[in-house]
């Protein structure tokens, strides 16, 4: 299992090296429905640091990192920071069922890309994958694989992005 995950992460890194950064104007043009079927424009988060996370309910590393993303979100309640998690290629029913089964309530936006268009738009070949954008929508960092988002290293990354 570790070998498969390592291979998947290496493929993601190689792919990202061959694809361009997502332009800020393109980022802010994206919109997806949330689980309540309300269309959410990423332009609503303009002026905030955005951690854009792509995940799926069938992806064990994705599921594992969700509670730590919530704890990271909770560390910055009054800051100009938002986590936006986009479920890639799954139905609303699958995501709702997953969320209802969690021990931790997720208070950051969970959006749905049921068609999986973000796989092409962002060049995603493996999950989870996250992109950190500054307040102007410029890509700061691409993060392949799961993280414990509330660990000191990750918290410092977000603090640094907010202070820019």
Domains along the chain with CATH numbers: 2-163 (3.40.30.10)
Distance CA 82, CA 153 (A): 18
Whole-number pLDDT of residue 78: 79
> What number of other Cβ atoms are within 10 A of residue 43's Cβ?
14
Higher-confidence residue: 23 or 20? Answer: 23
Which SS3 state, helix, strand or coil, does residue 145 take?
coil
Q: Does residue 1 have a pLDDT over 90?
A: no
Distance CA 42, CA 30 (A): 6
* CB-CB contact of 125 with 94 (8 Å): no
> What number of other Cβ atoms are within 10 A of residue 127's Cβ?
23
Q: Does residue 83 have a pLDDT over 80?
A: yes
Higher-confidence residue: 14 or 161? Answer: 161
50-79 pLDDT, tens digit each: 999 999 999 999 999 999 999 999 999 877
* CB-CB contact of 31 with 42 (8 Å): yes
Distance CA 91, CA 66 (A): 18
102-139 pLDDT, tens digit each: 988 999 999 999 998 888 888 888 899 999 999 999 99
């Amino acid at each position: 299992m570790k070998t498969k995950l390592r291979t998947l992460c290496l493929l993601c890194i190689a792919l990202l090296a061959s694809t361009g950064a997502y332009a800020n104007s393109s980022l802010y043009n994206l919109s997806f429905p949330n689980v309540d079927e309300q269309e959410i424009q990423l332009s609503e988060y303009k002026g905030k640091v955005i951690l854009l996370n792509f995940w799926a309910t069938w992806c064990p590393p994705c599921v594992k990192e969700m509670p730590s993303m919530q704890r990271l979100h909770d560390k910055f309640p009054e800051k100009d920071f938002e986590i936006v998690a986009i479920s890639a290629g799954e139905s609303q029913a699958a995501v709702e069922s997953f969320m209802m089964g969690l021990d931790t309530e997720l208070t950051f936006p969970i959006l749905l890309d049921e068609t999986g268009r973000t796989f092409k738009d962002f060049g995603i070949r493996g999950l989870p994958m996250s992109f950190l954008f500054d307040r102007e929508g410029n890509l700061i960092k691409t993060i392949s694989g799961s993280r414990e988002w509330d660990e000191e290293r990750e918290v410092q990354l977000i603090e640094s992005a907010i202070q820019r």
